[in-house]
Structure 1
Amino acid sequence: MRVLILSVTAGFGHHATAKAIGDMLTAKGAEVHTLDVYAYISHLVKTTIDKGYLFSSKHMQTLYRLVYQLAENNGQSYLSAGPNVINIVNALGASKFAKVLAGYAPDVILCTHVFAAQMVDELKKRRKLDDIKTIGIVTDYTLHPYWEDVPRVQYIVTASELLTYRCVQRGIPESRILPFGIPVHPKFNQPLSREDAASQLGIDPKRPTLLLMGGSMGYADNVKNIEKLTQIGLPLQFLVVCGNNKKQFLRTEHFASRYEGACTVKPYGFVNNVEVMMSAADCIVSKPGGLTVSEALAKNLPMLLVDPIPGHEERNVDFLVNNGMGALITKHFPIDEAVYQLFRNPARLETVRRTMKAIAHPDATERLADFVLGWQ
């Protein structure tokens, strides 16, 4: 079977999801190719989406939130008021991209971003993909705006069956919904003892350990958080992942070199062994990106959520907090207080882990791969 995965550069999660499901399908014998849709239509559009997403989500959060809420709350009525910019770009680039797809001759197309799904829907409308099966994958614990506007995409994968009611309310028939979970790399589903993970990282498996992450761009102010946490009187170990943020890494490294207290600080840049760190940790402090959340769920790792990007990450917070799987760090519930309460209340930690285990879909990647390969 030939499978084509379509993604869009806007953060790291969409491509990571594409790689996870692509690797699984390849391992099961499929021929898989992954494309960034707008790289084949317009380099300007590709760059604008990528840089615009990063800039607006970090520096124009109020506006970003307003635009997201407008699209989300009005649904079809918002879309029917007139074509949005992406629909216009897709309409103009559809014929060009149809020729690209013809060169791959896929049996199935998977879309890990709604903009890619909109392109597929446009081509379906033009009868360019009549014999090709299509699936969209939602990479957050919500239904992003515009997914209800791709009726020709045959199935939509969601993060949880708990979201089915909301999807139906937004106009997606339940028969099109596959609540498999967000696909993560199979390594997050492999058992690894705390002792073995700690050994790989060179840390003490008996000490309480926090994993601090700020997304692939390293948005979180790790030093400020660590300074607070070192004051609560617990001999904590900190695994601090700074992503691609070199300034954040150097600041964390500098703090670690001059700190002389009872805690241990280990700074990292961009890493490829997050699953090992999660296996060694008692809790993760992180932005609530859909992929990170799914990885933590697969590893049964309680979450303290910080600095959500307006829109989709705020919806992830709603889902996690309202279902008892995480807590949101705020001005009135600061990180030091949250960590103190969590580690002074073992029953709470255990309750969170049980809830996560009941809701998580660590097998999401394999379930989706098997569905694709068995689709007649």
Structure 2
Amino acid sequence: MRVLILSVTAGFGHHATAKAIGDMLTSKGAEVHTLDVYAYISNLVKETIDKGYLFSSKHMQTLYRLVYQLAENGGSGYFNAAPSIINIINALGASKFAKVLSGYAPDVIICTHVFAAQMVDELKKRKKLADIKTVGIVTDYTLHPFWEDVPRVQYVVTASELLTYRCVQRGLPAERILPFGIPVHPKFNQHLSREDAAAQLDIDPSRPTILLMGGSMGHADHVKTLEKLTVIGLPLQLLVVCGNNKKLLLRVEQFAARYEGCCTVKPYGFVHNVEVMMSASDCIVSKPGGLTVSEALAKNLPMLLVDPIPGHEERNVDFLVNNGMAALITKYFPIDEAVYELFHNPVRLKSVREMMKAIAHPDATERLADFVLQWKEN
């Protein structure tokens, strides 16, 4: 079976999801190719979408939130030009991209971004994709705007069955919804004992351990967080991941070098062993990106959420906090209080883990792969 996975460069999660499902399908014998839709239409469009997303979500949060809310609630026709621009780009680039697809001759197309799904829907409308099966994957704990507007994409994978009611309210027919969970790399579904994980990281498995992450670009202010965590009186081990942010890594290293106290601070840049760090930790402090959340759920790791991007990450917070799986760090509930309360309340820590276990879908990647591959048999 030939599977084509279509993504869009706008944050790291969409590509990571594409890689997770691609690797799983490959391991099961499928021929898999992954494409960035707009890289084949226009590099200018690709770069504009990527940089525009990063800039607006970080520096224009009030406007970004307003645009997202209007799009989510059907008010986009008056205030939000983004859907019309994307539709225009897709309409202009459809014929060009159809030729690209013909070279791959896929049996199934999987979209990990709604813009890619909109392109597929446009090609389906033009009858350019014949009988090719199509699946979309929503990479957050909500239904992003415009997923209800791609009726020719046959199935839509969502993060949880608890979201089905909301999705149907938004206009997505229940028979098209696959509540498999967000696909994550299979390594997050493999058991690794705390002791073995700690040995790999050269840390003490008996000490309370916190993993600090700030997204793939390392936008978090880890030094400010460390200043608060290292004065609460707990002998914490702090695993601090700075991603690709070299300036932040240097600042964390400088903090670790001058710090004298009961905590241990271990700085890291971009890492490839997050699953090991999660297995060794008691909780994670992170932005609530859909992929990171799903990885933490798979590892049954309680979450303290910080600095959500307006729109989709705020919806992730709503889902996680309202279902008892996380706490949100705010001005009035700062990180030091949150950590102190969590480690001094074993009942709360236990209940969080139990709720996460009940709702998590660590097998999401394999379930989706098996669902796709069953078409080969029909």
TM-score normalised by structure 1 residue count = 0.98
Tell me whether 1:175 sits opposite 2:175 in the alignment: yes
The residue that corresponds to 2:91 in the other structure is: 91
Distance verdict in 2 for CA 1:75–1:371, change over 3 Å: farther
Deviation string 1:243-274 (CA, Å, 9 cap, x unpaired) is 11111111001000110100000000110000
Aligned to 1:357: 357
**CA distance in structure 2 between the aligned counterparts of 1:226 and 1:235, rounded to whole angstroms:** 13
Aligned counterpart, 2:6: 6
Spell out, residue by residue over 1:261-319, the C-alpha distance to the aligned partner (whole angstroms, 9 max, x if none): 00000000110000000000000000000000000000000000000000000000000
Partner of 2:317: 317
Query: How many angstroms does 1:345 deviate by?
Result: 0.3
Q: Deviations over 1:102-138 (max 9, x none)?
A: 0000000000000000000000000001210000000
- 1:219 CA drift (Å): 1.1
1:47 and 2:47 aligned: yes
After superposition, the C-alpha distances for 1:62-108 in whole angstroms (9 at most, x for unaligned) are 11111111101116867999961101100000000000000000000
CA distance in 2, matches of 1:52, 1:351: 40
Q: How far apart in 1 are the matches of 2:365 and 2:15?
A: 14
Distance, in Å, in 2 between the alignment partners of 1:69 and 1:83 is: 13
Alignment of 1:100-249 (within 5 A): 100-249=100-249
Distance 1:310 1:76, change over 3 A: closer
**Structure 1: distance between partners of 2:245 and 2:320:** 27
| Distance in 1 between residues matched to 2:295 and 2:157, nearest whole Å | 17
Does the 8 A contact of 2:159 with 2:181 survive in 1?
yes
Counterpart residue identity of residue 86, structure 2: I
Distance 2:154 2:334 in 1: 44
Q: Where do residues 238-277 of structure 1 align in structure 2 (5 Å cutoff)?
A: 238-277=238-277
1:131 partner letter = D
Measure, in 1, the Cα distance between the counterparts of 2:135 and 2:42: 24
1: CA distance between counterparts of 2:345 and 2:211? Answer: 19
Instruction: Report the counterpart of residue 306 of structure 1 in structure 2.
Output: 306
The 8 Å contact of residues 138 and 156 in structure 2, kept in 1 or not, is answered as yes
CA contact (8 A) 2:5 2:112 kept: yes
1:236 and 1:109, CA in 2 relative to 1: closer, same or farther beyond 3 A?
Answer: same
Percent identical: 86
Determine the structure 2 residue equivalent to 1:333: 333
Secondary structure in 2 matching 1:284: strand
Q: Give the residue type in structure 2 aligned to 1:350.
A: K
SS in structure 2 opposite 1:128? Answer: coil
Separation in 2 of the partners of 1:38 and 1:373? 27
Partner secondary structure for residue 271 of structure 1: coil
Residue in 2 that maps onto 1:348: 348
TM-score, length basis structure 2 = 0.98
What code does the residue aligned with 2:66 have? L
Residues 81/246 of structure 1: CA separation in 2 closer, same or farther (3 Å cut): closer
Structure 1: distance between partners of 2:38 and 2:237: 43
The answer to whether the aligner puts 1:287 opposite 2:287 as a matched pair is yes
**Distance in 1, Cα, partners of 2:14 & 2:299:** 20
Q: Name the aligned partner's letter for residue 246 of structure 1.
A: K
Q: Which runs of 5+ in 1 are unaligned?
A: none
Letter in 1 for 2:346: P
- Once residues 75 and 328 of structure 1 are traced to their aligned partners in structure 2, the CA distance between those partners, rounded to angstroms, is 28
Flag structure 2 segments of 5+ consecutive residues without an equivalent. none
CA distance in 2, matches of 1:141, 1:42: 30
Number of aligned residue pairs: 376
Check if 1:374 corresponds to 2:370.
no
Q: Provide the aligned C-alpha RMSD in A.
A: 1.4
Counterpart of 1:145, as a letter, is P
SS of the residue 2:153 aligns to: coil
* Runs of 4+ displaced beyond 3 Å: 75-83
What per-residue deviation string (whole Å, max 9, x for no partner) do you get for residues 126-152 of structure 1? Answer: 000121000000000000001011000
